[in-house]
Amino acid sequence: MTTIVLVRKNNNLVVASDGQVSMGNTVIKSTANKVRKIEKRNVIAGFAGSTADALTLFERLEAKLEKHAGNLTRASVELAKDWRTDKYLRRLEALMAVGDKEKSFIISGTGDVLEPEGDVIGIGSGGNYALAAAKVLMETENSAEEIARKAIQVASEICVFTNNNINVQKI
């Protein structure tokens, strides 16, 4: 797994991830990028789970955004429907945290499109640690990027499947 945190503060959206890729109990890579930006649509997505599955889902999300004129809500719901009902996609194991300037969602393979309360999302093996840290840090004067970076740092000190090579995308 991995750790992804999405933070929305002061009209800024930041998605950050750690860089660790593990196979079982072995670290395979420590500098992976698990956060991607869809420049044309001003959307950022972070992935937890299988890398190949995540990249497939990212491509599908991008196609849904194109089809629905950048409407993140509609694209997310359509992706979740396909993910749950398509014989091939149903086997993909990943979670996505996606956001644009207005909305943030967690999308899962069980058909869930969740819009969590508050301005923070955490997914992956260290997601709950990062989520807790970010929620506390939201009450400070720190920027969205500073909060996201510190939240991943905290998770990396607790979760063995999370490291402190932090990747950040922002809009």
101-115 residue pLDDT tens: 999 999 987 778 999
In which band, very low, low, confident or very high, does the pLDDT at 131 lie, cut at 50, 70 and 90? very high
User: 49-82 burial by CB neighbour count: b if 16+ within 10 A, else e?
Assistant: beeebbebbbebbbebbeebeebbeebbbbbbeb
- Residue 2 pLDDT exceeds 90: no
- Residue 97 pLDDT exceeds 90: yes
**Is 2 annotated in the active site?**
yes
| Measured distance CA(89)–CA(169) in Å, rounded | 26
- For residue 93, which amino acid is it? E
131, 95 in Cβ contact below 8 A? no
- Residue 24 pLDDT exceeds 90: no
6, 104 in Cβ contact below 8 A? yes
Which among 2, 3, 73, 140 is annotated as catalytic? 2
Give me the residues paired with residue 16 across strands.
5, 168
**Could you give the domains of the chain?**
3-170 (3.60.20.10)
In which band, very low, low, confident or very high, does the pLDDT at 53 lie, cut at 50, 70 and 90? confident
Q: Taking the model in full, what pTM does it have?
A: 0.92
Say whether 157 sits in a helix, a strand or coil.
helix
- Residue 23 pLDDT exceeds 90: no
Q: Residue 129's CB: how many other CB atoms inside 10 A?
A: 22
- Residue 92 pLDDT exceeds 80: no
In which band, very low, low, confident or very high, does the pLDDT at 73 lie, cut at 50, 70 and 90? very high
Can you give the pLDDT at residue 88?
64
C-alpha dist (Å) from residue 69 to 64, 78, 136? 8, 13, 36
